[in-house]
Amino acid sequence: MSELDLIQTLSHEEIQAIEIEIAHLPDRASAAIDALLIVQEHRGWVSDESLDAIARLLEMSPADLDSIATFYNLIYRKPVGRHVIMVCDSVSCYVMGCDKLCRQMEDKLGVKMGQTTPDDRFTLLPIVCLGACDRAPVMQIDEELIGPVAGDQLDQVLGRFE
Amino acid sequence: MDKPLTERIDACGGLVDMAAFEAAEGYATARRAVTEMTPQEIQEIVKEANLRGRGGAGFPTGVKWGFVPKDEHAGAGHKYLVCNADEMEPGTFKDRYLMEYDPHMLIEGMIIGAFAIQADKAYVFLRGEYHESYRLLNNAIAEAKAKGYLGEGIFGSSFDLELAVHRSAGRYICGEETALLNALEGKRAQPRTKPPFPPASGAWGRPTIVNNVETLCNVPAILQNGAEWFQDLGLGEDAGTKIYGVSGRVNNPGLWELPMGTTIREIIEQHAGGMQDGYELRGILPGGASTEFLIEEHFDLPMEYGTIQAAGSRMGTGTMILMDDSICPVDMSRNLQHFFAQESCGFCTPCREGLPWLEQLLLDIEEGRGQPGDLELLETNASLIGAPGNTFCLHATGAIEPLASALKYFREDFEAHIRDGRCPQAGH
């Protein structure tokens, strides 16, 4: 991939944000996770093409970068919907009824955990403890924490995310 | 009662901004530490105060700081202070509260900690889902930098300190100190061989101290008020206050800063408002998912490191999860093993293969497919998987703690599932 291809694959904005992270670190490869998150913020997920471009920018092999990308659950190597819903299934939310909430969400959206709705509006994912256990059962949609969630509020909550 | 961690938050009724923080003497202690004290003096005060790590392990903070080689032995290069803000222990929500309501308190604690170990680089290792903490910390860091409290020659001294937030991308194993360092370096979060321990060789092979958020937040008040004051805050053998928390079917789930050594019963009944109508308390996980169950006979014990350990559990993060009588202990154990199986980093066979196997066996018992001998099988395998030394880190050991104790305290529930071929609480 030439310098020109790299610039065509990643935007100037993305490259700039990644370079800021690199400046805090002793070497370029140490910014791998930051770079993956930055590109994902701009594109929703990390495609093979993006991964190759990031690897080149960080002067590492795409295989090494992919081994890192696939280790972390908040890096998406497949496309996701416009909004990502994470429903906590850890123990405090379990005690407060998250199994029921997960089923209600699956029924409401017509998809299973890990799937995206056919209109690409929502991706539904389970997540470990969100650190808001006094509000259990909780979920997070994009960057917004919502809880406690009652089954009869789901339409209203989901309606805010077009 | 003194509440060094939360009294500013209470007074502000919400976020403590830079103006409010400085009006309440914020950064005055860091300024004094950096301009008037020696690193050695600071370490001695924190040691004498008996501040113990609030992330769960309870290791004395001042002693840990003392492991960092002094300048002449440290070789050339950076030293690092890393704040472990990867709050992922299920049931734990205290560090989020501190960061989202008083971010400058953490920064002040980090300035003092960094100066005490002579680190010129510091990172907050923040879990990826904490978006609000990320925004607030970055704002607070920019404000501190603008005032000359971070950057080159802080407070007009010759001491430089750069502080940056590293956003994590998930995985519970990042909370393990050496896995965290690999993640900080942009690698897969697999734990490292110990020794060497991080104070000798940590981030990028350089001396590194990893401290929890709540631990670092305690440091400014200790320096401001003295070691004796801090020791006197605790009711029993441990010093200071603790952010205790309760989640589950109580009337008022939440967090409270209370004297270290407050009893379990007082926390649940007075602060969390007791159980909701119609629910009986059967047991608690005192400090997160990886701590052993405690039951009624333990509820008058003070929540402090040694006492809870003597009772067969760990105080852990001090945020307890309550199991009421509507919850099946077998199914709750399955939920816990699901978490640990999923979050294994996959490096060691007993953890990677053993934990999903335990989860499956618990599911079978829960759904009525249990066989005579299954409980013995669970116990044998739990002891093999959980024994320290059989795996590289303590992830599997932590996973077994709630399971082994559930088998001990709720054995009749497990036996009833196998005997009757169904969950007595199914359909509840």
Dig out the tokens for B106 from the structure: 């953490």
pLDDT tens track for B295-342: 999 999 999 999 999 999 999 999 999 999 999 999 999 999 999 999
Separation in Å, CA of B291 to nearest CA in chain A: 12
CA distances from B241 to B5, B318, B415 (A): 8, 11, 41
Report, as an integer, the average pLDDT of A119-142: 97
Contact B245 A133 (CB under 8 A): yes
* φ and ψ of A100, to 5 deg: -65, -40
Separation in Å, CA of B44 to nearest CA in chain A: 31
- Closest chain B residue to A23, measured at CA: B164
pLDDT tens track for B242-292: 999 999 999 999 999 999 999 999 999 999 999 999 999 999 999 999 999
The answer on pLDDT for B428 being more than 80 is no
Question: What was the pLDDT predicted at B160?
Answer: 97
Question: What was the pLDDT predicted at B76?
Answer: 78
Q: What does the alpha-carbon distance between residue B189 and residue B128 come to, in Å, rounded to a whole number?
A: 14
Closest Cβ opposite residue A71 in set B171, B245, B338: B171
The answer on pLDDT for A2 being more than 80 is no
Among candidates B184, B4, B163, which has minimal Cα distance to B86?
Answer: B184
Fold identical between B7-233 and B329-420?
no
- Cα four-point dihedral sign B361, B364, B365, B371: negative
The residue behind tokens 């392990």 is B57
- Closest chain A residue to B183, measured at CA: A33
Question: What was the pLDDT predicted at A7?
Answer: 59
B60: three-class secondary structure by DSSP: strand
Report, as an integer, the average pLDDT of B166-189: 97
Residues from chain A that touch B362, judged by Cβ atoms under 8 A, are: none
Helix, strand and coil in chain B, % to nearest 5? 50, 15, 40
The set of residues, in sequence order, having a beta carbon less than 8 Å from that of A43 and lying 6+ positions away, is A50
Rg of chain B on CA atoms, in Å: 22
Cα B52–chain centre separation: 11
Question: What was the pLDDT predicted at B99?
Answer: 98
Contact B185 A30 (CB under 8 A): yes
Contact B319 A32 (CB under 8 A): no
According to CATH, the topology of domain B329-420 is: de novo design (two linked rop proteins) (1.20.1440)
Amino acid sitting at position A29: A
B256: three-class secondary structure by DSSP: strand
Q: What does the alpha-carbon distance between residue B340 and residue B290 come to, in Å, rounded to a whole number?
A: 9
Contact B170 A73 (CB under 8 A): yes
Contacts 24+ apart (CB under 8 A), B154-162: B154/B34, B154/B111, B155/B30, B155/B31, B155/B34, B155/B35, B156/B35, B157/B34, B157/B35, B159/B34, B159/B115, B159/B120, B160/B120, B161/B111, B161/B114, B161/B115, B161/B119, B161/B120, B161/B121, B161/B122, B162/A24, B162/B120, B162/B121, B162/B122
Residues from chain B that touch A127, judged by Cβ atoms under 8 A, are: 129
Residues from chain B that touch A24, judged by Cβ atoms under 8 A, are: 162, 164
- Closest chain A residue to B325, measured at CA: A95
Contact A33 B169 (CB under 8 A): yes
- Is B241-324 CATH 3.10.20.600? yes
**CB atoms inside a 10 Å sphere around CB A105:** 22
pLDDT tens track for B50-89: 999 999 899 999 999 999 998 766 677 899 999 999 999 9
Task: Please give the DSSP secondary-structure letter assigned to residue B263.
Answer: B
Report, as an integer, the average pLDDT of A39-50: 96
Ordered by where they begin, the domains of chain A are: 3-71 (1.10.10), 83-159 (3.40.30.10)
Contact A129 B166 (CB under 8 A): no
Interfacial residues of A (vs B; Cβ cutoff 8 Å): 24-27, 29-34, 36-37, 67-68, 71-75, 86, 89-92, 94-96, 127-136, 140, 143, 145
- Closest chain A residue to B203, measured at CA: A26
Among candidates B162, B98, B97, B84, which has minimal Cα distance to B127?
Answer: B84
Separation in Å, CA of B95 to nearest CA in chain A: 9
**What pTM was estimated for this model as a whole?**
0.96
Q: In what order do the strands lie in the sheet with A122-127?
A: A122-127, A83-88, A139-141, A144-146
Most A CBs within 10 Å, among B247, B255, B268, B324, to test the A interface: B247
Cβ–Cβ < 8 Å for B231, A114: no
Q: What does the alpha-carbon distance between residue A95 and residue B209 come to, in Å, rounded to a whole number?
A: 36
Amino acid sitting at position B384: L
The residue behind tokens 């992830």 is B395
The answer on pLDDT for B372 being more than 60 is yes
**CB atoms inside a 10 Å sphere around CB B39:** 21
ipTM score: 0.95
Q: What does the alpha-carbon distance between residue B101 and residue B93 come to, in Å, rounded to a whole number?
A: 13
Contact B92 A133 (CB under 8 A): yes
pLDDT tens track for B88-112: 999 999 999 999 999 999 999 999 9
Separation in Å, CA of B7 to nearest CA in chain A: 20
Cβ–Cβ < 8 Å for B84, B55: yes
Contact A72 B162 (CB under 8 A): no
Contact B93 A26 (CB under 8 A): no
Residues from chain A that touch B186, judged by Cβ atoms under 8 A, are: 25, 29-34, 68
Q: What does the alpha-carbon distance between residue B271 and residue B303 come to, in Å, rounded to a whole number?
A: 14
Most A CBs within 10 Å, among B127, B321, B367, to test the A interface: B321
Cβ–Cβ < 8 Å for B230, B220: no
Between helix B103-117 and helix B28-36 the angle, nearest 10°, is 10
* φ and ψ of B80, to 5 deg: -125, 140
Cβ–Cβ < 8 Å for B321, B299: no
Among candidates A10, A68, A6, which has minimal Cα distance to A38?
Answer: A10
Residues from chain A that touch B131, judged by Cβ atoms under 8 A, are: 143
Q: Break chain B into its structural domains and give their ranges.
A: 7-233, 241-324, 329-420
Q: What does the alpha-carbon distance between residue B49 and residue A68 come to, in Å, rounded to a whole number?
A: 41
Q: What does the alpha-carbon distance between residue B250 and residue B151 come to, in Å, rounded to a whole number?
A: 46
The set of residues, in sequence order, having a beta carbon less than 8 Å from that of A40 and lying 6+ positions away, is A46, A75, A76
As to burial, measured by CB atoms within 10 angstroms (0-12 exposed, 13-18 middle, 19+ buried), residue B265 is: middle
Class of domain B7-233: alpha beta
The set of residues, in sequence order, having a beta carbon less than 8 Å from that of B55 and lying 6+ positions away, is B84, B175, B211, B212, B214, B215, B317
Most B CBs within 10 Å, among A21, A65, A71, to test the B interface: A71
Question: What was the pLDDT predicted at B425?
Answer: 86
Q: What does the alpha-carbon distance between residue B199 and residue A100 come to, in Å, rounded to a whole number?
A: 46
